[in-house]
Amino acid sequence: MTKIDLDAVTATLDALPKRYPGPGGVAGVMLDGKVIATRAWGYANVDTAQPMTADTRLPICSITKQFTCQVLLAALEKPSDFDSQVAAFLPQFMGQLPTVQQLCDNQSGLRDYWALTVLQGAFAEQPFRREDALPLIARMKTGHFPPGTQYSYCNCNFRIVSEIIEAQTGQELEQLYKLHVWGPAHMKTTVLTADTSIPEDGVVGYEGSDATGFFPAENAIYWVGDAGISSSLSDMLAYEAWIDATRDDAASLYRRASEPPQFSDGKPASYGYGLAHDRIAGLDCVGHGGALRGFRAHRTNARAARLSVVVMFNHEADAHGAAESLVRAAMGHKIPEATALPDGWDGQWIGPNGLLTRLQSGRDYADLYHAGGAERLTLAADDTLRAPGVVLSRGKDGVTLTRVKDNSYAMLVPLALLDCANAAEIAGKYHSAELDASMEIVARGGGVYAQFSGMLGRGRMERMAPAGPDVWTVATRRSMDAPAPGDWTLTIQRDGNKDISGVILGCWLARSVKYQLI
């Protein structure tokens, strides 16, 4: 039996509403298959004063992926038997097609379809129907990398898997969830809420922050397989109890799904079958987070310690950080004091896949902006900057970025800062053969904006700003999925006469999309 600091767990739970302020939330901690502490605070709907409770069902969003993969293992047993089915979803793809397991392990190399909705002209709040997904996926012609060689988070991987499951079994996914996971785990009220416009139990998700105030989030997307499940804290803790009860059964679904994954070169990977592998407070943890505008969730399980944590908010606070703080509290683990950083680390570069990479340091940390949100790095004994799965080092040849968790290594190319640029030069219309979609760049009164058009309509005017010579950023702060892509990197392409011929646009979830000037 693992000894834990129950007083520290209780104090950390008590502090969550203040540390992560917002309308409401729930959290629970389990040890040895039993609930040792829970909290429910605030309101599911602040306008009606509907309390948040342990039985309030909230969207668990991408935590759904592990349920989809467990259904795959239960219903189809051997994923490789269905590798040939993938081609039907990618009829125009020109490279090596991913296997079903590579889809489940986020090693497909495909661009994320929620990020691509921005480039297809979608507004954040507009409906995205079930029938919109497969035509968007079918337009893909290239990927980020050969399947199996690297990691890249991609929601449409699991959308394809869910379609294969339903086609092969002749059953709807919700029925399969009930049969193979929810029923055995005694998750009594969990449901598939594929239509995000109608959350369960009258719950409301809130955008905003303590600084700006909170306002109801408007969602209208349909998702299934990659997300869509709604569950309560009570049911999620029942799931954790089921995981614990089957922990020593090598044939159990969760045990099979949570086996350490690998890349095709045999190197260890940190993601497999819809589960992220992490190390917290000296424990090997397996879990996942979830996000939709107005909601955040995270669950994690340390099998060796028989410790589980679940956190869910109906606002956009850091559920992963909250869950991690509870694991640390349980184990009596304190984050070591960081060492002050030497000067000279700040800067910006062009990183792997042509993405703008920035480093902004504080006294004893540096925030790396490369893969979506900021990753906080601290100084290691070997004078590198590190975060879990990320190493930034510098030497006589320059700065290198190693992302162990992604199986990637790259020398960063320095990029001089640029506060202003000739906006009129880049203004014009561009077309992407990859997406069969368009972009127009408009210079207006000193401001520069990009507007995307495609199968989902004509989107908002997104702000642009110069970052360096022939490099711009395009800001997308809100999109159909959450978190939004953030800053896209737009790199200008020139012909032999140094005239602009096109651009390459990318973000972490959708990289290296080519556009030609028309």
Q: How far apart are CA 358 and CA 131, in angstroms?
A: 38
**Which alpha helices (DSSP H) does 77-155 contain, by range?**
100-104, 113-119, 130-138
Q: What percent of the chain has pLDDT over 90?
A: 91
Q: Which of 17-31, 300-314, 414-428 has the lowest mean pLDDT?
A: 414-428
| CATH number of the 423-517 domain | 2.40.128.50
Higher-pLDDT residue of 81 and 351 is 81
Mean pLDDT value across residues 63-67: 98
Where does the chain hold its CATH 3.40.710.10 domain(s)? 6-67+172-331
Superfamily of segment(s) 6-67+172-331: DD-peptidase/beta-lactamase superfamily (3.40.710.10)
**Strands 486-494 vs 34-45: parallel, antiparallel or unpaired:** unpaired
pLDDT of residue 61: 98
Where does the chain hold its CATH 2.40.128.50 domain(s)? 347-414, 423-517
Q: Which residue in 3, 18, 34, 65 is the catalytic one?
A: 65
* φ and ψ of 416, to 5 deg: -65, 145
What count of residues does the chain have?
Answer: 518
3-class DSSP state of 327? helix
Q: Are 404 and 390 contacting, i.e. CB atoms less than 8 angstroms apart?
A: yes
pLDDT (tens digit per residue) in 102-128 = 999 999 999 999 999 999 999 999 999
**CATH pick for 347-414 out of 3.60.21.10, 2.60.15.10, 2.40.128.50, 3.40.50.720:** 2.40.128.50
Q: How confident is the model at residue 494 (pLDDT cuts 50, 70, 90)?
A: very high
Burial letters for 386-406: b for 16+ Cβ neighbours within 10 Å, e otherwise? bbebbbbeeeeeebebbbbbb
Q: Is 432 an annotated catalytic residue?
A: no
Q: Is 65 an annotated catalytic residue?
A: yes
Q: Which residue in 3, 18, 34, 62 is the catalytic one?
A: 62
- CA dihedral 77→80→85→91, nearest 10 degrees, is 150
Mean pLDDT value across residues 309-329: 98
pLDDT of residue 27: 98
Q: How confident is the model at residue 256 (pLDDT cuts 50, 70, 90)?
A: very high
pLDDT at 1 over 80: no
What Å distances lie between residue 84 and 33, 87, 180, 225, 490, CA to CA? 40, 6, 25, 19, 36
Helix (H) or strand (E) holding 289: strand 283-292
pLDDT (tens digit per residue) in 363-397 = 889 999 998 788 999 999 999 999 999 999 998 88
pLDDT of residue 118: 98
pLDDT (tens digit per residue) in 165-197 = 999 999 999 999 999 999 999 999 999 999 999
Q: How far apart are CA 359 and CA 376, in angstroms?
A: 10
Angle at 154 between CA 358 and CA 88, to 5 degrees: 145
pLDDT of residue 508: 95
> Tokens 């989030």 appear where?
217
Q: How far apart are CA 17 and CA 40, in angstroms?
A: 9
Residue 212: Cβ within 10 Å count: 8
Helix (H) or strand (E) holding 156: helix 156-169
- CA dihedral 169→171→172→175, nearest 10 degrees, is -110
pLDDT of residue 342: 87
pLDDT of residue 197: 96
Q: How confident is the model at residue 419 (pLDDT cuts 50, 70, 90)?
A: confident
3-class DSSP state of 309? strand
pLDDT of residue 102: 98
In the chain, the amino acid numbered 27 is A
Q: Which of 324, 383, 354, 381 is nearest to 490 (CA)?
A: 354
Estimate the crossing angle of helix 156-169 against helix 130-138, to 10 degrees: 110
pLDDT of residue 229: 98
Angle at 351 between CA 349 and CA 357, to 5 degrees: 50
Q: How far apart are CA 402 and CA 375, in angstroms?
A: 13
Q: How confident is the model at residue 320 (pLDDT cuts 50, 70, 90)?
A: very high
Strand partners, 213: 209
**Mean pLDDT score of the chain, rounded to an integer?**
96
Q: What percent of the chain has pLDDT over 70?
A: 100
pLDDT of residue 174: 98
**pTM (2 d.p.):** 0.96
